[in-house]
């Protein structure tokens, strides 16, 4: 009935939608090693070698250092409960990324002469984050080619206080940009006037005549594909820095290994601070259904390629950006395995949908507390924020008692990320390693021949 439109999920928007494919090899094909002698990264003292003394902090940055309390990133997103998603990142002391096309969420943004001149939504996003920012992590704005052409990076950096831009090459859910149906000729003309690619061209007289006669095909907008070269990316990065960018990030998906190496070399040559590599199994919404399932390297295979390439660049004495791996992660065992599999070259792991789930759940529970409708599942813990949110004392230890009035969705994100960190600390202590930099592939036990081959 819906024809071409069913290439995309028809229930996106308020839903998180991602790959459903079971890959023949993944992180579950490894168990975690353990050791019973000695202690690395801390004194061999039973009073000191505890999970509470595990150093989970990390830092990155070529020109402007960014410190984080946890080896976690909240990847690009700007939907659902984004306010608590970003606030929770600030509370947990980790970096977070605002998704591309953020202007589409702002009916009040103004475009004149092909450039955005007012974008109040960016101010709202900053306000969701800044009250909780405590010097750890960074808020980053992701931009695609359409954002660049409209001057979004410039207005973000020079008017709304941003100091970090992520350049999007791709994501695991889709290696192309979205196609969105436009309802009529009038809307198609409006979209084109705003700088969008529209097919067929609504300004073409033949198309307009066909529309009048009722024989015009559907109109669609289409995001421009990034077509970077080494020269163009260098010029763009220098332009961003001249506008005030202190940190530059890349977002890359599981493309061909030749492209992976090229992006990593671009990052090295231009002093890029971090590259996030997004593997198959991820996704969050408006991406082609079968593309989410059927393209890209699964995350563990992508990480294997990235680590191999990073080692190659290191042998050439080239500087490396910080490397983040993302794509389907949700639990502490997965995060630990990714860090260990990174062999000292992976700084952090991205947690997108899982963090948003925490934001949504925390917010819902908070509303139930306010309305006196706490479900039986949670009634055994109590009926107040203080009773139900178990990590609230840890948050109060950072911010004081005012944390009790913080948005419960953000508290949920904070609690979830702290849970991940606490779990990593346990697995690290299991291996008698008390600093993240010590994790390596010796901390993993392959369970299959495919897993064994990945360690070679």
In this structure, what CATH number is given to the domain that contains residue 352?
3.20.20.70
User: 244 and 188: one domain?
Assistant: no
Is residue 284 located within the same domain as residue 339?
yes
Establish if 388 belongs to a structural domain.
Answer: no
Task: Say yes or no: 186 and 232 in one domain.
Answer: no
Domain end marker among 164, 188, 222: 222
How far, in Å, CA of 294 to CA of 327, rounded? 14
pTM of the model: 0.96
Asked if residue 391 is part of any domain, the answer here is: no
SS (H, E, C) the chain: CCHHHHHCCCCCCCCCCCCCCCCCCCHHHEEECCCCCCCECCCCCCCCCCHHHCECCEEECCCCCEEECCCEEEEEECCCCHHHHHHHHHHHCCEEEECCCHHHHCCCCEEECCEEEECHHHHHHHHHHHHHCCCCCCEEEEECHHHHHCCHHHHHHHCCCCCEEEEECCCCCCCCCCEEEECCHHHHHHHHHCCCEEECCCCCHHHHHHHHCCCCCCEEEECCCCCCCHHHHHHHHHHHHHHCCCEEEEEEECCCHHHHHHHHHHHHHCCCCEEEEECECCCCCCCCHHHHHHCCCEHHHHHHHHHHHHHHHHHCCCCCCEEEEECCCCCHHHHHHHHHHCCCCCCEEECCHHHHHHHHHHHHHHHHHHHCCCCHHHHCCCCCHHHHCCCHHHHHHHHCHHHHHCCHHHHHHHHHHHHHHHHHHHHHHHCCECEHHHCCHHHEEECCHHHHHHCC
Mean pLDDT (10-residue bins), the chain, 456 residues: 84 74 94 98 97 98 98 95 98 98 87 93 97 99 97 98 97 86 96 93 97 96 96 99 99 97 99 97 76 91 98 98 97 99 98 96 98 94 97 98 98 99 99 98 98 94
Given 167, 202, 222, which residue is the final one in a domain? 222
The pair phi, psi for residue 320, each rounded to 5°, is: -110, 140
Same domain, 303 and 262: yes
Is 424 inside a domain boundary? yes
199 lies in the same domain as 101: no
Please indicate, yes or no, whether residues 117 and 185 belong to a single structural domain of this protein: no
Same domain, 120 and 215: no
pLDDT at 178: 85
Please check whether residues 190 and 292 belong to one and the same domain. no
> Does 334 lie in the same domain as 206?
no
Distance CA 311, CA 382 (A): 52
In a domain, 395, yes or no: no
**What pLDDT, on the 0 to 100 scale, is given for residue 162?**
98
Do 97 and 204 belong to one domain? no
**Do 232 and 112 belong together in one domain?**
yes
What domain range is 154 assigned to?
3-178+226-359+416-454
375 by Cβ neighbours in 10 Å (0-12 / 13-18 / 19+) ranks as: exposed
Angle (CA) 84 85 90, round 5°: 90
Residues 420 and 301 in one domain: yes
Domain count, the chain: 2
In Å, what is the CA distance from 57 to each residue of 71, 195, 331, 437? 6, 42, 18, 10
In a domain, 364, yes or no: no
Residue 262 included in any domain: yes
Domain membership of residue 120 (yes or no) is yes
- Is there a domain that residue 63 lies in? yes
Query: Residue 194 has what pLDDT?
Result: 87
């Amino acid at each position: 009935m819906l024809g071409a439109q069913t290439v995309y999920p028809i229930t996106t928007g308020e839903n998180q939608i991602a790959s459903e494919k079971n890959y023949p090899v993944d992180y579950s094909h490894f168990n975690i090693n353990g050791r019973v002698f000695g202690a690395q990264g801390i004194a061999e003292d039973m009073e000191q070698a505890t999970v509470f003394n595990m150093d989970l902090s990390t830092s990155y940055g070529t020109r402007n250092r960014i410190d984080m309390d946890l080896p976690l990133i909240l990847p690009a997103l700007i939907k659902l409960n984004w306010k608590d998603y970003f606030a929770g990142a600030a509370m947990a002391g980790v970096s977070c990324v605002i998704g591309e096309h953020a202007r589409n969420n702002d009916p009040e943004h103004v475009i004149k002469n092909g450039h955005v001149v007012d974008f109040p939504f960016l101010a709202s996003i900053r306000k969701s984050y800044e009250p909780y920012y405590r010097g750890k992590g960074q808020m980053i704005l992701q931009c695609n080619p359409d954002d660049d052409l409209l001057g979004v990076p410039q207005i973000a950096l020079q008017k709304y206080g941003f100091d970090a831009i992520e350049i999007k090459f791709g994501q695991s859910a889709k290696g192309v940009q979205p196609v969105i149906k436009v309802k009529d000729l009038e809307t198609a003309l409006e979209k084109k006037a705003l700088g969008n690619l529209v097919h067929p061209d609504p300004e073409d007289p033949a198309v307009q005549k066909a529309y009048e006669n009722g024989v015009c095909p559907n109109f669609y907008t289409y995001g421009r594909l990034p077509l970077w070269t080494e020269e163009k990316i260098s010029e763009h990065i220098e332009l961003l820095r001249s506008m005030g960018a202190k940190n530059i990030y890349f977002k890359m998906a599981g493309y061909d290994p030749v492209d992976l190496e090229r992006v990593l070399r671009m990052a090295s040559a231009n002093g890029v601070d971090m590259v996030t590599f997004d593997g198959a199994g991820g996704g969050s919404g408006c991406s082609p259904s079968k593309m989410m399932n059927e393209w890209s390297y699964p995350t563990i295979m992508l990480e294997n390629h990235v680590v191999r390439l990073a080692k190659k660049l290191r042998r050439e004495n080239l500087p490396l950006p910080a490397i983040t791996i993302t794509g389907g992660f949700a639990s502490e065992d997965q995060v630990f395995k990714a860090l260990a599999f990174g062999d000292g070259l992976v700084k952090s792991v991205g947690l997108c949908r899982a963090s948003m789930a925490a934001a949504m759940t925390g917010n819902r529970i908070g509303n139930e507390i306010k309305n006196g409708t706490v479900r039986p599942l949670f009634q055994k813990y109590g009926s107040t924020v203080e009773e139900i949110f178990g990590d609230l004392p840890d948050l109060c230890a950072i911010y004081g008692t005012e944390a009790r009035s913080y948005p419960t969705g953000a508290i949920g994100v904070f609690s979830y990320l702290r849970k991940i960190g606490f779990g990593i600390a346990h697995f690290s202590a299991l291996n008698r390693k008390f600093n993240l930099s010590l994790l390596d592939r010796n901390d993993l036990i392959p369970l299959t021949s495919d897993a064994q081959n990945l360690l070679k």
